[in-house]
Structure 1
Amino acid sequence: MNAAAMFVKLVSVNSLKTLLKLSSRSFSSSCAAVNLKGRSFLTLKDFSSDEIQRLLWVSGDLKHRIKHQQQYLPLLQGKSIAMIFEKRSTRTRMSTETGFSLLGGHPCFLTSQDIHLGVNESCSDTARVLSGFCDIVLARVYSHSTLEDLDEAASIPIINGLSDLYHPIQILADFLTLQEHYGSLRGLTVSWIGDGNNVLHSFMMTAAKLGVHLRIATPKGYEPVQSVIQEAQKLSKEHGTQLLLTSDPMEAAHGSNVLVTDTWVSMGQEEEKKKRLKDFEGYQITMKTGSVCKPDWTFLHCLPRKMEEVDDEVFYSSRSLVFPEAENRKWTIMGLVVSLLTDYTPQTPMLKF
């Protein structure tokens, strides 16, 4: 190579490095400028790439400062959260109660036996009453329309703790877990093998925005909602990621970094159990499923887990991230409520995306 060519190559390489640095600074600046105070959190469909990255950054920052540096951060001192639970839960209840308390706030747990939501009192009236008592509401409900009714009437933020359509707080924990494990998210391939349910819907509203490819295998008749598929296809095209929908689990798993599944029989579907188990034959995640993945493949499950969904060899292996994933439900709900209720600025460096 002559001197002139060497000079051109050197300039090109240095220019690329400069461009990448500027791009990184621009990206960091746009994410750092995000302010979510006062927003509700019903679906990740309503949140941009920068906003989701900001939530993950705040969550990671709180985890580092509180868990690893042993700092006390009373960011929610004097604030309270109403926790409405139409459906029982372990992780959602414990993560919210312990996380909100750890930040100095007061959680109030309300079941359908404690309040009259939509029965003796309308959702609208309940929302107005709670708006005068507390600062934020987390509702774990059967119908997504209940959340929309609460949000329309409330003057405080409403958080979706789970609905029949979406489970966005679970997805924040999943992506924080993957970010911690792999170092960054962009370019990862996540394969969902299971039911076309609320957790999958939230993955579909988020993955492309973080530069993550998504491969989905569901049995015929158990596909995601069509409107969610259309929105996911639009997001994939917009962000330059791949989206695959198939009924073949091994096809979905091929070349993946992450295998994900969930219960095949959700609460309220117990009468369908026998048929569902038959329809999902061949969908159990095993080491054989992982054999077509990338060498660094890992496994996620939002819990509780049943044997038919994933065998012990995978679930309790070093590839399984399910227990760090469960713990991150706490740090991400903390990051979320802090972002929706305060002007907090993270003190640790921004995570790599």
Structure 2
Amino acid sequence: MVKSFLKEIDFTKKDLLNLLALSAKFKQLKKDKVAHKYLEGKNIALIFEKTSTRTRSAFTVAGQDLGMNVTYLGAGEIQLGKKESIVDTAKVLGSMFDGIEYRGFKQEDVEILSKYSGVPVWNGLTDTWHPTQMIADFLTLTEVFGSLDDLSIAYIGDGRNNMANSLLVTSAILGVNCTIIAPKSLQPQKDIVDLAHQHNTGASLTITDDIAGVKGVNMIYTDVWVSMGEGVDFKERIDLLLPYQINQNLISLTGNPDVIVMHCLPAFHDLNTEIGKDIYEKYGYSELEITDEVFQKYSSIIFQEAENRMHSIKAIMYNSFQEE
């Protein structure tokens, strides 16, 4: 049976906990500079219809550390869904590669690649789910708090994007209490909420538009306010979400001196990017989903989380090639 990694609901709590433990083991091997080319001789393809820093870097280094040959296939470099159907592309790539990573738009596309390629396929991000990010995020939570037991987390901002979807569902599977805080128009779709409840192993799941929902949480999470490829009125979106910015006032509302903040990056917290400068010139905002003060305060955890993408992706790929 081909073991792909397409979305969180394909896995049990035990499966995900095993991946977290395996990620930690690979992180220690890397730290100790112990070679672990367990998949030497295998070839994998990385399909990126959406640009990436962390996902591309993580898959590349993870694959090379495991001894695999890694081929990058960027947007416009292959005919995926344009001059050649995804089914045909899947069959071609499956005959040449031992595994395929896909980062793109439709969840349906990564599912088709898995169904017809005959090799493991790993979801590097779609508009619906971001499962590799979840293993990195919950690994980070485990490292910071020692365990996932009795943890409560809150996601604040655009509650309809892939990060909010994945956090809600993965929290449910792992039994971690999760609150999604977003304006009513940007709250998770009913089918996502239903999935979370169907796979819940004991978590308290809350959807609200009240920022007071952060009270008592151990971690606050946010993401960019406009996702890649999303066509929206940017000014309208900013104005809608400004009350949901992670700032010092929001941190204070938690009432928890040990609360942490996480962000999957990139983050618009200053004017050190072209997009950040453009937003400031057009709308006068120098900080969006998170203030620079808060970002810098929790930056060590945020960049620990980013590094963990590599270790978790290594575990995910390695696990796909193991016999049941």
How does the TM-score come out when normalised to structure 1?
0.83
Q: Which runs of 4+ in 1 moved over 3 A?
A: none
Q: Does 1:171 align with 2:134?
A: yes
From 86, 99, 102, the equivalent of 2:49 is: 86
Q: Does 1:61 align with 2:25?
A: yes
CA displacement at 1:65 relative to structure 2 = 1.6
Separation in 2, partners of 1:209, 1:155: 27
Task: Note the 1:154-303 alignment, pairs <5 A.
Answer: 154-196=117-159, 197-236=161-200, 239-249=201-211, 251-269=212-230, 271-293=232-254, 294-303=256-265
CA displacement at 1:314 relative to structure 2 = 0.9
Which digits, 9 at most, give the CA deviation of each residue in 1:21-77, with x for residues without a partner?
A: xxxxxxxxxxxxxxxx7311110011000000111111110111221x221011110
Q: 1:322 — aligned with what?
A: 302
Q: 1:6 — aligned with what?
A: none
Task: State, as a whole percentage, how many aligned pairs show the same letter.
Answer: 38
The gaps in structure 2 that reach 5 residues or longer are 269-286
Which digits, 9 at most, give the CA deviation of each residue in 1:223-251, with x for residues without a partner?
A: 11210111212333xx22211110112x2
Residue 319 to residue 93, structure 1, CA distance change in 2 (3 Å) = closer
Structure 2 counterpart of 1:106, one-letter code: N
SS in 1 for 2:73: strand
Structure 2 counterpart of 1:145, one-letter code: E
Q: Does 1:114 align with 2:77?
A: yes
Q: 2:100 — aligned with what?
A: 137
SS in 2 for 1:76: coil
Separation in 1, partners of 2:88, 2:142: 41
Separation in 1, partners of 2:9, 2:154: 20
Which digits, 9 at most, give the CA deviation of each residue in 1:132-186, with x for residues without a partner?
A: 1111111001111111221221100111110010001111100000101110011
Q: Which has the larger radius of gyration?
A: 1
Task: Note the 1:331-346 alignment, pairs <5 A.
Answer: 331-342=311-322
Separation in 1, partners of 2:242, 2:294: 18
8 Å contact from structure 1 (residues 300, 320) kept in 2: no
Separation in 2, partners of 1:75, 1:235: 33
Q: 2:267 — aligned with what?
A: 305
Q: Count residues in correspondence.
A: 304
Separation in 2, partners of 1:259, 1:52: 21
Structure 1 counterpart of 2:295, one-letter code: F
SS in 2 for 1:321: helix
The gaps in structure 1 that reach 5 residues or longer are 1-36, 345-353
Q: 2:278 — aligned with what?
A: none
SS in 1 for 2:72: strand
Which digits, 9 at most, give the CA deviation of each residue in 1:185-238, with x for residues without a partner?
A: 1110010001121011111221122221001101121111210111212333xx
Structure 1 counterpart of 2:47, one-letter code: I
Separation in 2, partners of 1:338, 1:289: 40
How does the TM-score come out when normalised to structure 2?
0.91
Separation in 2, partners of 1:318, 1:311: 11
Q: 1:8 — aligned with what?
A: none
From 151, 159, 166, the equivalent of 2:114 is: 151
Residue 84 to residue 175, structure 1, CA distance change in 2 (3 Å) = same
8 Å contact from structure 1 (residues 193, 252) kept in 2: no
Separation in 1, partners of 2:33, 2:194: 45
